[in-house]
Amino acid sequence: MIPNDSLEYCHDSHDDKPHEACGVFGVFAPNEDVAKLTYFGLYALQHRGQESAGIAAFEDGRVHSHKDMGLVSQVFNEEILAELSGTHAIGHNRYSTTGSSHLRNAQPAIIDTRRGKFALAHNGNLVNTPQLRQHLDDLGCNFDTTSDSEAIALAIGVEVDSGKDWLEAIEEALDYCHGAFSLTISTPDAVYGVRDPNGVRPLVIGQLDRGGYVLASESCGLDIIGAKYLRDVQPGEIVRIDADGLHSNIWQEAKPKLCVFEMIYFARPDSRNDEESLYSYRIRIGQILAKESPADVDLVVGVPDSGIPAAIGFARTSGIPYAEGLIKNRYVGRTFIQPTQSMREAGIRMKLNPLKDVLDGQRVLIVDDSIVRGTTSRKLVKAIRDAGATEVHMRVSSPPVTHPCFYGIDTDTQDQLIAATKSVQEIGEQIGVDSLAYLSWKGMLDATNRNPDHFCSACFTGDYPIEVPEMLKRSKLMLEKAAKSQ
C-alpha cells in the first residue's frame, strides 16, 4: 500500500457514541515472528481505533516499521509483515483525539537518539500538551506531527541524549507529562510498558508458552496469540521486558482511576478485569437497571453490540423475554464515501436494521449503553416504531453523560451532550420513547465489585481526577452548569 499523506478519513456522522483513543501492543519474543504476533494483537484490538495502524520491529539495533491509514487488515499483508523482522516489536491502532486523522499522526512514533532509535505507542491524552510542546520547543526539538504522543517520545529522547539510560530517561520525561497515558515503548534491546499514576487507560501483561512476554491494551489481545494473562500493569508502574525476563519499577505512587467506560462500553466483552470478563459486569449492570427502572413490556432488545449483555441481564432479572430485534451490519466502519441524502434520512439502517416480524405488535424495551447527542437514539426509536412496535421504552446501562472527557475519549463539546442541557424527561421526549431511564451512578460503580473510588467517572459527574487547565476546558465549551439529569 502506498501511503498518501493527504488522506483523511470521514467520521461517521451517524455514530452517536464516544470513541476510545487507541489500542497498544508490545511483544518481546526472540524466537517468534514478532511482527505477525503484533499484527494479530492489533487485529484483536481493532475496536479501539480504526483510523490507522502501525508496527515497529527491532532487530540487532535496527528498526523496521510500517504504518498507514486504515484497518489493520488493510495496512498489512504477508509481504509487509515479512519485512518487519526482529526480536521485539510494538504496535498501535489509532482513533484520533489529540492530532488530526492524518497519516503523519499514525503511530508508533519513532525517534532517533544517541543510544539508537526507539519507538513509542500511546493510548490516552495529555492535558498539558501545549506546555510540554513549548518546553520541547525551547530545547530545540522539531515536531513532525500534531499529536501529544510525539511530544512524549521527544521528551524521552531529550533525556536519553542528556546521558541517561532508557529507564531513567523514561521516568524523567514522564514527570513532565500530565494526563492519561498507557504506553508501549521499544528500544534496541527491550520493550517497556507504562501506565500513568491514575491508570486511566488499561494495559495488561501476558506470557507466551514458548517464551517471551506480551503487553496489550486488553486481555483479548493476549488471547488471540495464545498468551497467558499474568496481571495488569499497575498505575504508576514501568515494566521492562528484555532477554532476562520481566522487570518492574514503580515510578509514581498509584492513585487508581480506571475509566469506568472501559467497563461499560470500550473494552471487548471477552476482555478480563479482575479475573472476570467484562461480559459478566455488563450482565450485572443490566440486572441492577431492571431493579432500579422496571417496565411493563413484552420484549427486551439489546442495541448491538455493547447493549446486548445489559439487555440479557435486564431480561433475566425482570422475567421479560429477551429477543434479537436489531441486526447489525458488522462491516460498516469508516468510509471515504458519503451516503446519499435519502440514505442519510434512513440514518440508523446503515448500521442497524430492525426485525419487523419480531417487533411488530410488541411493547418493546431497548437497552443501550449510552446516549451522547441523542441523534442515533431518535432514529433508532423511529425505526422500531416503523417496524410495528406499539410502545418503545429505553433503558440506558450508564448514567447520563453530562461532561466531556479530556483523558483519551473523543466526546463532543459539552453543549452538544444532550444530558448536559436537558432532563431525563426532556431527553425521552426528544428521542420519542414512551419512557426513559438511566442506570444510577451508584449502581454502575457497585456492579464493579471493586472500590468505587478506583474509577474515573468524570463524564457523568464533572469530577476530574487529573486537573484540567481552564484553556483546555474552554476548548470543550464547558457550560456554567450542566443540567441535573439524575
* Pair 428, 388: CB distance under 8 Å: no
d(CA 319, CA 342): 40
Cα separation, 486 vs 420, whole angstroms = 11
pTM over 0.85: yes
C-alpha to C-alpha distance for 47 and 404, rounded to whole angstroms = 21
Q: What three-state secondary structure class fits 274?
A: coil
Per-residue pLDDT reduced to its tens digit, 242-278: 999 999 999 999 999 999 999 999 999 999 987 889 9
- Which amino acid is residue 460, in one-letter code? F
Q: Which residue has the cell 444532550?
A: 418
Cell numbers of 371, please?
446516549
3-state secondary structure 158-210: HHHHCCCCHHHHHHHHHCCCCEEEEEEEEECCEEEEEECCCCCCCCEEEEECC
Show pLDDT as tens, one digit a residue, over the chain (486 residues): 323 332 233 334 345 665 556 899 999 999 999 999 999 999 999 999 888 999 999 999 899 999 999 999 999 999 999 999 999 999 999 875 444 556 777 899 999 999 999 999 999 999 999 999 999 999 999 998 888 999 999 999 999 999 999 999 999 999 999 999 999 999 999 999 999 999 999 999 999 998 999 999 999 999 999 999 999 999 999 999 999 999 999 999 999 999 999 999 999 999 998 788 999 999 999 999 999 999 999 999 999 988 999 999 999 999 999 999 999 876 655 554 556 666 665 556 667 899 999 999 999 999 999 999 898 899 999 999 999 999 999 999 999 999 999 998 877 788 889 999 999 999 999 999 999 999 999 999 999 999 999 999 999 999 999 999 998 888 876 565 544 444
The C-alpha cell of 461 is what? 459527574
d(CA 384, CA 201): 35
Q: Which three cell numbers stand for residue 5?
A: 499523506
Which 8-state DSSP code applies to residue 380? Answer: H
Q: Which of 463, 456, 460, 392 is nearest to 429 (CA)?
A: 392
Residues 6+ apart with CB under 8 A from 138: none
Q: Report the length, in residues, of the chain.
A: 486
Q: Give the Cα separation of 178 and 75 in Å (integer).
A: 32
Please state the φ and ψ torsions of residue 410, each to the nearest 5 degrees. Answer: -85, 95
What angle do helix axes 148-161 and 166-174 make, rounded to 10 degrees? 130
Quote the cell numbers at residue 369: 449503553
**CATH 3.60.20.10 domain extents, the chain:** 19-256
What CA–CA distance (Å, rounded) separates 406 from 411? 9
CA 97 to chain centre: 11
Mean pLDDT across the chain, nearest whole number? 89
Domain 19-256: assigned CATH number:
3.60.20.10
In the chain, which segments carry CATH 3.40.50.2020? Answer: 276-475
Count of C-beta atoms within a 10 Å radius of residue 177: 23
Pairing mode, strands 227-232 and 204-208: antiparallel
Q: What are phi and psi of 278, to 5 degrees?
A: -70, -20
First to last CA, the chain: 50
Q: In sequence order, which residues have a C-beta less than 8 Å from that of residue 94 and are 6 or more positions away? A: 21, 22, 49, 51, 52, 53, 54, 105, 106, 107
Q: Are 193 and 238 in contact (CB under 8 A)?
A: yes
Query: Which amino acids are annotated catalytic?
Result: 22
Q: Which residues pair with 93 in a beta bridge?
A: 23, 53
Q: Which of helix, strand or coil describes residue 75?
A: helix
Q: Which CATH architecture has domain 276-475?
A: 3-Layer(aba) Sandwich (3.40)
